[in-house]
Amino acid sequence: MFDLRSLLIGIILIIKKYTCINIKVYAESNDEDYINGIILLPLVGLVIGFVASFISSFKIFYDDFFISVIAFTYYCFITKTVNLRDTYKTLNYIIKPKSQSEQMSGTIGIIIICMFYFVLIRLVDVTTLFIMPVAGYSGLIILSTVFKRNKDGTSIIKYCGKYHKIAAFSISFISAVLINYKLVAPLALTFMVSGLIVDFMDKKIKLLPNSIEGFIIEITQVLFLIFTYLFKII
């Protein structure tokens, strides 16, 4: 189904979209390359998570809060805050402020999410950060099934097929088992609760904005951190 050249071009396109790494593609690309690259999106999350986990491991030498700030700063830098910006846009879209100057819903939402990151990165086990981005990117692909309406306005969800979902499900849970088997339970619970949230939004939102994808990634990651802490994996 996939060829190596198309996979390589596709993963480069995905890396450019979701990270600050700007790799030049000298070969011509098409939609098929992009679609093939989506299947490796959870692996991009795994690499991002590895570095975040490494940074978090320095908690044994330095203050926990200081390290959590460094780890979150790294996350914002490597992802270009693209998902946080999408979350801001989505919250404003859902609540629909009366004017552009009244977009307090997005601002408050981002502040709350950042507070969760700062606190929970400090509290959870370092292996949690390894899996966190995998959960976010895998969740985006897996939860694409929940949307029943037109998905043409999205850039990832509309392309997700059976093989993408199988790969995302497999990569996320196999990674959790290999890195820390205790993370399997909060990961499963995260996908279930995220599915309920997405299903609710699918019924309430008239038109899916492109920014919904970044919102799903961020919400899934924060839920994973919360459930991991509630399961006392610290």
pLDDT, tens only, 52-98: 999 999 998 999 999 999 999 999 999 999 999 999 998 888 877 55
- Please indicate, yes or no, whether residues 18 and 75 belong to a single structural domain of this protein: no
> What pLDDT score does 24 carry?
80
- Please indicate, yes or no, whether residues 32 and 56 belong to a single structural domain of this protein: no
- Please indicate, yes or no, whether residues 48 and 28 belong to a single structural domain of this protein: no
CA distance 73 to 53: 13
DSSP for residue 157: G
- Please indicate, yes or no, whether residues 18 and 91 belong to a single structural domain of this protein: no
Give the pLDDT mean for 186-210.
Answer: 88
DSSP for residue 181: G
- Please indicate, yes or no, whether residues 21 and 52 belong to a single structural domain of this protein: no
Give the pLDDT mean for 100-116.
Answer: 83
CA distance 67 to 94: 34
pTM attached to this predicted model: 0.92
- Please indicate, yes or no, whether residues 209 and 175 belong to a single structural domain of this protein: yes
Identify which of 149, 140, 193 has the alpha carbon closest to the alpha carbon of residue 167. Answer: 140
Give the pLDDT mean for 202-209.
Answer: 79
* pLDDT surpassing 70 at residue 46: yes
Say how many C-beta atoms besides its own lie within 10 A of residue 148's C-beta: 9
- Please indicate, yes or no, whether residues 34 and 50 belong to a single structural domain of this protein: no
Band of the pLDDT at 226, cuts 50, 70, 90? very high
Domain tally, the chain: 2
Find out whether 219 and 90 touch, Cβ atoms under 8 Å: no
* pLDDT surpassing 80 at residue 141: yes
- Please indicate, yes or no, whether residues 10 and 100 belong to a single structural domain of this protein: no
Share of the chain above pLDDT 70, in %: 96
What lies within 8 Å, CB to CB, of 119 at 6+ separation is 68
* pLDDT surpassing 90 at residue 166: yes
Give the pLDDT mean for 21-47.
Answer: 86
- Please indicate, yes or no, whether residues 100 and 31 belong to a single structural domain of this protein: no
What lies within 8 Å, CB to CB, of 120 at 6+ separation is 222, 225, 226, 228, 229
* pLDDT surpassing 70 at residue 101: no
Residue with tokens 């993370």: 183
* pLDDT surpassing 80 at residue 150: no
> What pLDDT score does 70 carry?
96
- Please indicate, yes or no, whether residues 84 and 146 belong to a single structural domain of this protein: yes
Range of the domain at 29: 1-38
- Please indicate, yes or no, whether residues 189 and 112 belong to a single structural domain of this protein: yes
- Please indicate, yes or no, whether residues 193 and 128 belong to a single structural domain of this protein: yes
